[in-house]
Structure 1
Amino acid sequence: MQTFNLTATGHNLNYLPQYIARRHGFFQEQGLELVTKIPTPWDGVLDALAAGEADMALGGIWVPSMYRERVENYTVFAQIANRCPLALLKHGSADEFKLTDVAGKTVLMKSGGGASVGLFFKMLLRENNIDARAVDYIQDLDGVMLGNLFQGGMGDFFVTDNLSARAMVEQNPNISVAMEMVTQGDVPWSVYYRETATTTPEVMDKQRRFCLALAKGIDFVNNTDPTTYQDELAELFPNVPVEACVAVTNQFRNNGMWISPVIPVEGYNRWQLGLRDARLVSEPIPYKTLVNSEPALESQAPQPVSSSGAPAMNGSTRIAVAEAKTISSVA
């Protein structure tokens, strides 16, 4: 059994297939013992990589994007979350809410785990022809602090993770969910990466086996009613009502949060445009420059077959794999 050390930026429901894969022995089936550490503050993941204490980091792709050719080159080899796991809360009823309603208002956004919250929300505004500068933001505070302040009356809207949003709404009838951003299209939200210079064939073999186990975890979550393993959800997220965990898991399952370890090209390109417009990169980074999809692609072949004899791969996964194979085949 080989130890595979992971340093992660947090403990989140959008990482659920990885947790399931570990709890159900899928990594052990691949000869890997997954050991996870979550540093505080979150950017300690980069220190862990640099010190050789971790084989890979899990977090936002915006970090290896903005670091490239400036500080350190990282190679991204897989994803776990294919969509944004945030929600937009508002005071009062969310009936007839439109995204344009945020213009001229104050939006609270947690930032303790990095820049992703603000990056995605402002990109979403731009994509909907809403001037992001027409909104006032309070985003330099801890998420729990902002949540308490929002419930106390600060601001008009609050962007936080979907699970916390559901839990807050269940406890406070004066707040409602205006938008669950998992419905707002593909982006490689959470990815695995390490330094390009230290990625050897031996490392890639571990990555391939990791992706095989992760793909099995994704398949389990997508095809299993979460009420049948709600005890595990309660153990993983003890501070949130299990009903909220089940509801958010189903919301994620139904909206393409988890499709494959393979990063879809279209979602990648969309996020790169968002990072460019946020000035984190000067120009979008080509897919193949930042992503080596070989370990993730190998995890998709051969595919298990369904009862009809067809490959057990949904449409989104087929598209993601086909796109990534096309990019990988280009010299």
Structure 2
Amino acid sequence: MQPFNLTATGYNLNYLPEYIALRHGFFKEQGLDVTVKIPTPWDGVLDALADRSADMALGGIWVPTMYKDRVQNYTVFAQIANRCPLAILKRGSAEGFKVSDMAKKTVLMKSIGGASCGLFTKMYLRESGVDERAVNYIQDLDGVMLGNLFQGGMGDYFVTDNLSALAMVAKNPNVSIAKQMVSEGDIPWSVYYRETATITPSILDKQRRFCVGLEKGIEWVLQHDAETFRDELAELFPKVPVDVAVSVTNGFRRDGMWTTTSVSRGGFDRWQLGLRDACLVSEPLVYESLVNDEPAAAAQMEIQAGKKP
């Protein structure tokens, strides 16, 4: 059994297929002993890659994008989350909500854990024809703090992860979900990457085997209604009401959160435009300059070959 150490920027429901692959032994079937560490603060994942204590990092693709040719080059080899797992909350009923309603209003957005929340929200506003500069933002605070402040009267909208949003609505009848971003198109929200210079044929082989295990985890989740493994969800997310975890999981299953381990080209190009408009890069990167799809593609071919009679 070969060790394959993962460092991740957080523990999230949109990483569910990875947790299922770990619990169901799909990585061990590939001869990999996968371990996971979550550093505090989150950018410790880059330190773990640099000192070789981690074989791969899991987080937003915006980090390898903005670091390329400036600080360190990273290569993305797989994807787990294919959609944005955020939701927009508002006070009162969400009936008749339009994105344009957010213009000239104040939006609270959590920032602890990275910049993805703000980056995506502003891109979504631009895509919807709303001038992002016409919106006021409060985003340099912890998500729990902002959630409490929003419920206490600060701001007009609150953007947070889907799981926290549904949990809040379940407890507070005075707020509602105006928009669940998972329905708003493909984007490589969470990817696996490693320092480009450290990749060897041996590493590529381990990446391929990791992708086989992860593909099986994705397939397992897509084939099972969350109601049938609610006890497992309760164990994985003990602080979340299990009915909420079931609801979010089934919503993610329905709306394309999990597809394959390959990074979608369309989603990649869309996100690169958003990152350019946010000034993280001067021009959108070309897919092949950041992503090596070979491990994921080989894993998918291996799984398909195994299904043939």
Q: TM-score range by the shorter chain?
A: over 0.9
Show the 5 A alignment for 1:1-331: 1-304=1-304
Q: TM-score, normalised by structure 1?
A: 0.92
Counterpart-to-counterpart distance in 2, 1:145 and 1:38: 21
Letter matched to residue 198 of structure 1 = T
* Alpha carbons of structure 1 residues 306 and 297: separation in structure 2 relative to 1, 3 Å: closer
Letter matched to residue 2 of structure 1 = Q
Counterpart-to-counterpart distance in 1, 2:241 and 2:306: 34
Counterpart-to-counterpart distance in 2, 1:224 and 1:231: 13
Counterpart-to-counterpart distance in 2, 1:126 and 1:137: 15
Q: Deviations 1:232-262 (Å, cap 9, x if unpaired)?
A: 1111111110000000001100010000000
Where 1:212 maps in the other structure, the secondary structure is helix
- Deviation (angstroms), 1:306: 12
Where 1:186 maps in the other structure, the secondary structure is coil
Equivalenced residues, count: 309
Letter matched to residue 275 of structure 1 = L
Counterpart-to-counterpart distance in 1, 2:16 and 2:295: 20
Counterpart-to-counterpart distance in 1, 2:97 and 2:281: 33
Counterpart-to-counterpart distance in 1, 2:110 and 2:302: 41
Q: Could you tell me whether the CA contact under 8 Å between 2:80 and 2:260 is conserved in 1?
A: yes
Where 1:151 maps in the other structure, the secondary structure is helix
Counterpart-to-counterpart distance in 1, 2:90 and 2:197: 46
Q: Deviations 1:184-241 (Å, cap 9, x if unpaired)?
A: 0000000000000000100000000000000000000011011111111111111110
Counterpart-to-counterpart distance in 2, 1:128 and 1:91: 21
- Deviation (angstroms), 1:48: 0.4
- Deviation (angstroms), 1:302: 3.8
Where 1:283 maps in the other structure, the secondary structure is coil
- Deviation (angstroms), 1:128: 1.1
Counterpart-to-counterpart distance in 2, 1:160 and 1:45: 22
Q: Could you tell me whether the CA contact under 8 Å between 2:212 and 2:303 is conserved in 1?
A: no
Counterpart-to-counterpart distance in 1, 2:92 and 2:127: 26
- Deviation (angstroms), 1:157: 0.3
Q: After TM superposition, which residue ranges in structure 1, 4 or more long, deviate above 3 angstroms?
A: 302-307
- Deviation (angstroms), 1:305: 8.7
- Deviation (angstroms), 1:304: 4.2
Unaligned regions of 5+ residues in structure 1, if any? Answer: 311-331
Q: Deviations 1:274-294 (Å, cap 9, x if unpaired)?
A: 000000011011000000000
Letter matched to residue 58 of structure 1 = L
Where 1:170 maps in the other structure, the secondary structure is helix
* Alpha carbons of structure 1 residues 156 and 192: separation in structure 2 relative to 1, 3 Å: same
Q: What is the CA RMSD across the aligned residues, in angstroms?
A: 1.4
Counterpart-to-counterpart distance in 2, 1:187 and 1:238: 28
Counterpart-to-counterpart distance in 2, 1:277 and 1:22: 37
Where 1:194 maps in the other structure, the secondary structure is strand
* Alpha carbons of structure 1 residues 305 and 211: separation in structure 2 relative to 1, 3 Å: closer
Q: TM-score, normalised by structure 2?
A: 0.98
Where 2:189 maps in the other structure, the secondary structure is strand
Counterpart-to-counterpart distance in 1, 2:250 and 2:87: 15
Give the percent of matched residue pairs that are identical in Structure 1 and Structure 2. 69
